[in-house]
Amino acid sequence: MARVYNFSAGPAMLPEPVLSRARDEMLEWQGSGMCVAEMSHRGKEFMSIAAQAESDLRKLLAIPGNYKVLFLQGGASTQFAAIPMNLLRGGTSADYLNTGSWSKKAIAEARRYGEVKVVVSTEEGRFTRAPRQDELALSADAAYVHYTPNETIEGVEFSYIPETAGKPLVADMSSTILSRPIDVSRFGLIYAGAQKNIGPAGLTIVIVRDDLLGQTLPGTPTMLDYKVQADNDSMYNTPPTYAWYLAGLVFEWLKGLGGLEEMGRINERKAALLYKTIDDSGFFKNPVEPGSRSWMNVPFTLADAALDETFLKEAKAAKLTTLKGHRSVGGMRASIYNAMPQEGVEVLVGFMQEFERRYG
């Protein structure tokens, strides 16, 4: 078995039971005589796969009945534009929290469609903490408030859900969705690219409160109109069928594991072990304030950056891959999403301790 522990920020590891199941069903899905990738999206087999996936996701996140769940394409980046197009609803401005590289991108894109007020920015401190609630200078006339609960590149995660005085709260949950329970009713809209905690790239999930639908900006592409997608059960055109199926297998795996309470406990444990290893060492450093540290993405630096290449090379030989930090911040980053087993983190910290012993 040559599988590695893949610490990529995304596309990321998938649970092994999901891959085995997909392999078993590859040539013929449950007596249908074909692979899921070959099925008509409007046939009864695929419709049942799609419905089951949605139903399981609704159970996992306890999504209230007044929310639509959309299975879309285009990645989270397409949502950066779709959100203002759908949610400005006659308003002219929206509030955005600037907490890292991904919120910056969301802000830049939203500015093409309306006025963006940056109500707090942690850029001066190089995005090493989540802002406190009392730092958010929310505007009276914002159509919605957007934030990034987990900044994938900086490894900064909010430990609370911002209070928005009734304004719809929009969250880019690409790198934190399904990592622990969340109260969906606190949000107007949640979106996430699939390639971290949901499934393969090519699928984007949007969970949106139904009163926010149907008031798009003039000129909004049909494909980006949430109401059109909701009215067509995400099948206005051909949806990403195989990615949807694999996401369904991931949801089933999560249910079998005990749901998001249990997933959250496992994730907290994995993250705690890695942060403790970093903090206990005199060689590795994580720059993020302890209260804002991500459970999913753990950036760290070595005491001597000249050892980075050696670290990556030896890690790879130990079957620990994709640990290089994002090009914008350098150093290392271990992404430890749902599918990264506890054992993978244990092997990583063992490797780190040994590396420090030899080079520190």
293 vs 302 by CB, closer to ligand PMP? 293
Using the contact rule CB under 6 A, the part of the chain among 16-24, 69-77, 130-138, 319-327 near ligand PMP is 69-77
Asked whether the beta carbons of 293 and 262 are under 8 A apart, the reply is no
Residue 164 makes contact with ligand PMP by CB under 6 A: no
Q: What is the CA radius of gyration of the chain?
A: 21
User: Which residue, 10 or 168, is less far from ligand PMP as judged by CB?
Assistant: 10
Q: Which of 56, 95, 172, 225 is catalytic?
A: 172
Residue 90's CB is within 10 A of a number of other CB atoms, namely 7
Q: Per CB under 6 A, which region of 71-79, 136-144, 258-266, 339-347 contacts ligand PMP?
A: 71-79
Instruction: Answer yes or no whether residue 174 interacts with ligand PMP by CB under 6 A.
Output: yes
Q: Is 202 in the site for ligand PMP (CB under 6 A)?
A: no
Place of tokens 């990034």: 148
- Please tell me the distance from the alpha carbon of residue 158 to that of residue 147, in angstroms, as a whole number: 10
Helix axes 259-280, 342-359, angle to 10 degrees: 0
Q: Where are the alpha helices (DSSP H) in the chain?
A: 16-24, 44-61, 75-87, 101-110, 226-231, 241-257, 259-280, 308-317, 342-359
* List of residues 6+ apart from 201 with CB closer than 8 A: 10, 11, 75, 193, 194, 195, 243
Contact residue for ligand PMP among 162, 168, 188, 193 (CB under 6 A): 193
Concerning whether 105 is annotated as a catalytic residue, the answer is: no
Distance, CA of 163 to CA of 148 (rounded, Å): 14
CB 78 within 8 A of CB 71: no
Active site annotation includes 308: no
- Count the neighbouring beta carbons within 10 Å of the beta carbon of residue 189: 25
77 binds ligand PMP (CB under 6 A): yes
Q: Which stretch binds ligand PMP (CB under 6 A): 28-36, 73-81, 261-269, 280-288?
A: 73-81
Figure out which of the listed residues 6, 86, 98, 152 binds ligand PMP, where binding follows CB under 6 A: 152
> Minimum distance between the CB of residue 56 and ligand PMP, rounded to whole angstroms?
21
304 is catalytic: no
DSSP 8-state symbol, 184:
G
Q: Is 215 in the site for ligand PMP (CB under 6 A)?
A: no
**How many residues line the site for ligand PMP (CB under 6 A)?**
12
The single residue of 68, 104, 167, 196 carrying the catalytic annotation is 196
**Options 6, 98, 122, 148; binder of ligand PMP; rule CB under 6 A:** 148
**What distance in Å separates the CA atoms of residue 166 and residue 188, rounded to the nearest whole number?**
10
Token representation of residue 132: 């406190």
The residue from 29, 102, 244, 253 that is catalytic is: 102
Binds ligand PMP by CB under 6 A, chosen from 154, 172, 225, 252? 172
- Active site positions, annotated: 102, 172, 196
Binding-site ranges for ligand PMP (CB under 6 A)? 9-10, 75-77, 102, 148, 152, 172, 174-175, 193
